[in-house]
Amino acid sequence: MEKLIVANWKMNPGTQQEVIELFDAVSRGITRNLTQNNAEVVICPPFIYLPLLKGLTLGAQNVSVEPKGAFTSQVSATQLKDLGVEYVIVGHSESRKYLHETDEEISKKLKTALAAGLKPILCVGENEGEDRTEVLATQLAEGLQGLLGVIIAYEPVWAIGTDKNCDTQSVVEAAKVIKKIAGDVGVIYGGSVNAENAKQYLEVVDGLLVGGASLKPEEFINIVRSVD
Ligand code: PGA
Known binding-site residues for substrate equal: 8-10, 161, 192, 211-212
Q: Please indicate whether residue 214, judged by its CB atom, sits closer than 6 Å to ligand 1.
A: no
CATH number of 3-225: 3.20.20.70
Distance 182 CA to ligand 1 centre (A): 23
Catalytic residue list: 92, 155
Beta-carbon-side half-sphere exposure of residue 220 (alpha carbons within 13 Å): 27
Domain ranges of the chain: 3-225
Taken in order 26, 32, 34, 36, the sign of the CA dihedral is positive
Give pLDDT, residue 38. Answer: 86
- The pLDDT tens digits for 131-188 are 999 999 999 999 999 999 999 999 999 999 999 999 999 999 999 999 999 999 999 9
Distance 183 CA to ligand 1 centre (A): 25
Q: How far is CA 193 from the centre of its chain?
A: 12
- The pLDDT tens digits for 55-97 are 999 999 999 999 999 999 999 999 999 999 999 999 999 999 9
| Residue with CA closest to ligand 1 atom 1 | 211
- The pLDDT tens digits for 189-199 are 999 999 999 99
